[in-house]
Every structure is written in C-alpha cells, then in structure tokens.
Amino acid sequence: MANRRILTVSAFLMAEAAVVFSGHATTKPLSAGCPVPEGYRRVAEEYGVPAEALYSVSLAESSRRLPQGERPWPWTLNVTGKGYRYATREEAYQALLGFMRHHPLRRIDVGIAQVNLGWNGAFFHSYREALEPYTNLRAAAQILRHCYEMNPGSWLQAAGCYHHPAGGKPARTYRAIVQRKLATLDAAASDSLTSSHFSYPVPTVVSPATEETALLWAEPQTPGGQ
C-alpha cells in the first residue's frame, strides 16, 4: 500500500532526458519481448519509472489469479489490512462507500496499485475516480518516483518505500514480494529495478480512445464494470 502523501509533484517529472545503462545514453525502448502490458509502460514512461517496477508493484498490491495467469485486479480494496476483490468497478465503489462510514481513510487502500486514501487521496478528484485504473496507476507512479528521488540507487528500495516509507521489516518484506513478482518477468526487468542510472524519458500523451485497449487484458471488462 502507498502510505506517503506527496504534497507536490516536482517539475522534474516532466523533464526530457534519456535512460542510461552502463554509461551509454539511449532512449528506453518499449520492447516487444517485455511481458509488461502496454498501458503500464505508457504510464511508467510519463513519470520516469521503469515499467517493470510499476507492474511488479501492481502485482504485489492487487494480483488475482485469472484464466490467463496472475494479473493486477483494479477492483480491489484493502481495509485495515484485509483485502477485498470485486467483480466490477461499481461493486468496489459501493463497498468503498460502506467501509468509509466505519473506518478512517488512512486504513483504506484502493485500486489496481492500492493507493492509500488517507495519505494520498489528494491525487484523486473523487473517491470514485480513485478506482479508475489509469488514474490510480498514475498516482502510484508519482509516489514510486518520489520514493526513488528521496533515496536514489535502487528501484527495489523505492518499492519498499512505496509500501512503508519508514523502512524496517515491513519495507524489507515488501521488497522481497516485489522481487518475486519481478522474477516472473524477463532478465532486463531485473536490471531496470536495481540500476541507479534510470533517468526521465519524454512524457507521452495517451489518448482516452487507446487507454482502455492498452489495459484491457489486465482489466477484465465486465458488464457494469466501468
């Protein structure tokens, strides 16, 4: 769960730069061989985060077993440490309204990347919007990027901060979970999370018409789920 409220989104997130590995500056390609879905890659690129980091964190936060394998599930809530998964966005939203009547927002994590409403609710214009997968992912990417900038050197360390900024055992345990998720991706993914040389790519504009398709396989479309 993301427990750090980002008060400002620094201008450097919009800077144009390159990805640097082993002393060579190149533009990071969206490799066809990488199993990270296109939607995650585009959101990660907007905020200068390795796509593998964003996807592995999403898997750690909200994964669900589907016929095609383990996938992040967008209609997920976590309340006081207990996870709940719903068939549609509307079901998740109605459940969220009920939980909010009985629990403080800092005990509620929402959506595909389990963004905490108490610490990070400012990323959303409404509680319903917090369940919109791309809005949720963009909030997560900004939090993850902020964590990395606070202590550059390892995206796995940033993932631990995403879950528990104070560090310690909770962050270490979470890093191990993210690393296991990462192991299901290709070898290049491991390099990107441990590299200290990842900089800021050119932001891309994603049209609403293409967003739904890009995340389709990770966000099952069910009647009433939008």
pLDDT tens profile 24-62 = 222 233 333 347 999 999 999 999 999 999 999 999 999
Q: Does residue 152 lie within any of the structural domains?
A: yes
Pick from 5, 205, 22: which is nearest to 121 by CA?
5
Q: Does residue 27 lie within any of the structural domains?
A: yes
Pick from 222, 171, 182, 159: which is nearest to 70 by CA?
182
The answer, yes or no, to whether residue 153 has pLDDT greater than 60, is yes
The pLDDT tens digits of the residues spanning 63-84 come to: 998 887 889 999 999 999 999 9
Q: Does residue 123 lie within any of the structural domains?
A: no
DSSP 8-state class, residue 27: P
What pLDDT is attached to residue 144?
A: 97
Q: Does residue 149 lie within any of the structural domains?
A: yes
Range 149-169 average pLDDT:
93
Q: Which domain holds residue 208?
A: 14-71+132-214
Question: In angstroms, how far is the first alpha carbon of the chain from the final one?
Answer: 23
Domains of the chain: total: 1
Q: Does residue 110 lie within any of the structural domains?
A: no
What pLDDT is attached to residue 35?
A: 79
The residue length of the chain stands at 226
Q: Does residue 107 lie within any of the structural domains?
A: no
Q: Does residue 19 lie within any of the structural domains?
A: yes
Q: Does residue 226 lie within any of the structural domains?
A: no
Specify the range with the lowest mean pLDDT, choosing from 12-21, 97-106, 152-161, 195-204: 12-21
SS3 content of the chain, % helix, strand, coil (to 5): 45, 10, 40
Query: What pTM did the predictor assign?
Result: 0.72
